[in-house]
Each structure stands twice: as C-alpha cells, then as structure tokens.
Structure 1
C-alpha cells in the first residue's frame, strides 16, 4: 500500500494536481468543458505535458470562456497556432472552437454539467481498486459518453479520453484504496 496513487510520481506539479484536483467532483459546466478540451489536447501526449501548459492554454483560450471561443474565426485559430505555449494542432484547436459552440447549445437546453453527469447517474462511481493495474482505461459509461458527445459533433472524445475525463472530474473515484485521497473522496459530501 502507498499513501498516494503512483501515477503522479514525485513531480511537484503532478503531486499537487493529484492531491487537490484529480477525482474531485466538478459540477461547474464551464470547468467541465475546459477539462474536456484539455483531455482532447492530451490525445497522443502525456497529461503532465498538458498540465505544464495549462496556464498558457487558459490565456490563449480566453479563460476557456465558451462564448468567446465559440466566436473564433480562422484568423483567431491561426493566431493560436502560433502560440508555442500550447499544443499547436489545428484539428484540436478547431475541435475546441466547435466544442465551445456545442457546449453553448447543450448548456442552453439542459445544462452541460447535468448532461455529462447523467452518464454516472448524477453521482460519482466509487471504485475500490488496490492497484493501478486494476484501473480500466475505458468503461461502458465512458463509451456511452463518448458516443453521445460524438453524435452531437464533438471530436477527440473517444472512450479512453472520456474515461480519463471522468476520473479527473470525480465522476469516478479511481484513487487506489491505499491513497490518502480515496477515503476523502468516498464520503457522501465529496459527491457534491
């Protein structure tokens, strides 16, 4: 048993993310959209790479204000492509802009947060894995979320990406049972 999930290693930024953010239930729609966008940018990269660039992403993407990003045109996309502080991938940047527009549609109907949380019945799934090797990379819930997002027009949201998103946003508690965060996030008040 360890007192922390081993995936974060000893990098202070990664440890702080593990201890303060990862697995904490997030109910704010805008914050969920930001995390979904960043998980999409992670495709093919490590999360620590995205975490190190997160502040640059926030600055470039107008604080992840969906209304502002939804209004981006090709010139604004081209400007983002010149920013060395972010992942400069045209498809991912265009996907974020399209995702902002889709976020606004979903938010105006039933809310983005309730839509995403519906895939776990509105409450975090409490897993009890003893080792990281037991933690899945995708689940039926993440596959269903992926399908629903893709049907609405989102990209870079396959079932592995959506499961990482669900872990990060506390829709599932995948801290291993020996981690000091597992018990704290298993309490009913942690469910939001």
Structure 2
C-alpha cells in the first residue's frame, strides 16, 4: 500500500488504482525480500514497464523502501508491529463532522514520516503517511454521520484520538 501511496504523489488516485494489478505483477506481489534484492537490470526493466508509473525516483524509492522495511523488521519483529506502535495497537477513531474537517496530515503522521525516513524510506512525507494510515485502518476518518464510522468503531474497537 505504501508503494501505491508514494506512486500517487502528484497524480490522481484513479490513475494509480487502474494500475494497481500491474504494480502487484511488476513488484512480485510486493514481496519485501524479492523487491529488496532488485538489481540495476530489474530497475531498468521496471522503467520500461508501461503498466506502472515510470518515474525513476518513485521506482527506486519502492526498492529502497523494501530494504528499509527489512531493517524495521530486524528491530521491531514486523512492519505491522512498528506501524501499529504509533497508535498503541488501536485504530484511532476521529470525530470529523465534515469532509473538510479531515486534515491532510497530523502530528502522528509527521512522527511516522520521520521514523520511516530514519530507516531510509522515501516518498513518505506526512501527507503520504496520513493517507497510508487511513488506507490501512490506523485511523478512521469517516465523518460521524457516515454509516462506516460507527461500523468501524464496532469492528475495530473503541480507541480514539
């Protein structure tokens, strides 16, 4: 998911969503160990893959991020444990009344961004990190009048911000 969030930077989500399956194929189903072992030949192959966004920085960041995740795993046991430590293992249920209330980033996403960068991750600024946190369920940003807000509280527990 983080690869897709980074690839989306400066582009529309629909562009990336239409290429999602191509990304899975191009990056070996996002297998961290395989992606971290990519060499220059594989990188050049990816640069020629019309099914993904062919941006040098974005492609190289995916490879670098896979290598960084290996370091995170060594220190924290898993990427999951590392990520969820930022929210004490519980989804943060925000209480936004309108979509315009939802911020592009938060102090928590700034902290996550800094932590990921300290391991060598790229394309992980606070805004990308916040979108990532939303997409994996670390934060529930459905507005309080949305039926999913209550469903997610019931499903994931009642942690809140």
Q: TM-score range by the shorter chain?
A: over 0.9
> 1:46 & 1:120 partners in 2: Cα distance?
28
RMSD between aligned alpha carbons?
A: 1.1
Tell me the TM-score normalized by structure 1. Answer: 0.78
Which residue does the alignment assign to 2:60? 94
Please list every run of 5 or more consecutive structure 1 residues that lacks an aligned counterpart in the other structure.
Answer: 1-34
Match for residue 112 of structure 1 among 79, 83, 90: 79
Alignment of 1:138-149 (within 5 A): 138-149=105-116
Task: State the 1:109 CA deviation.
Answer: 2.6
> 1:76 & 1:88 partners in 2: Cα distance?
13
Which residue does the alignment assign to 2:88? 121
Task: State the 1:176 CA deviation.
Answer: 1.3
Task: State the 1:128 CA deviation.
Answer: 1.4
Matched, 1:182 2:149: yes
Which residue does the alignment assign to 2:104? 137
Please list every run of 5 or more consecutive structure 2 residues that lacks an aligned counterpart in the other structure.
Answer: none
Which residue does the alignment assign to 1:41? 7
> 1:113 & 1:86 partners in 2: Cα distance?
26
Task: State the 1:180 CA deviation.
Answer: 2.1
> 1:161 & 1:97 partners in 2: Cα distance?
17
> 2:74 & 2:112 partners in 1: Cα distance?
19
Tell me the TM-score normalized by structure 2. Answer: 0.93
Task: State the 1:178 CA deviation.
Answer: 2.1
Moved over 6 A (4+): none
1:5-63 alpha-carbon deviations (Å, 9 max, x no partner)? xxxxxxxxxxxxxxxxxxxxxxxxxxxxxx11111111111222111110000000000
Does the 8 Å contact 2:47/2:54 carry over to 1?
A: yes
> 1:106 & 1:153 partners in 2: Cα distance?
10
Which residue does the alignment assign to 2:24? 58
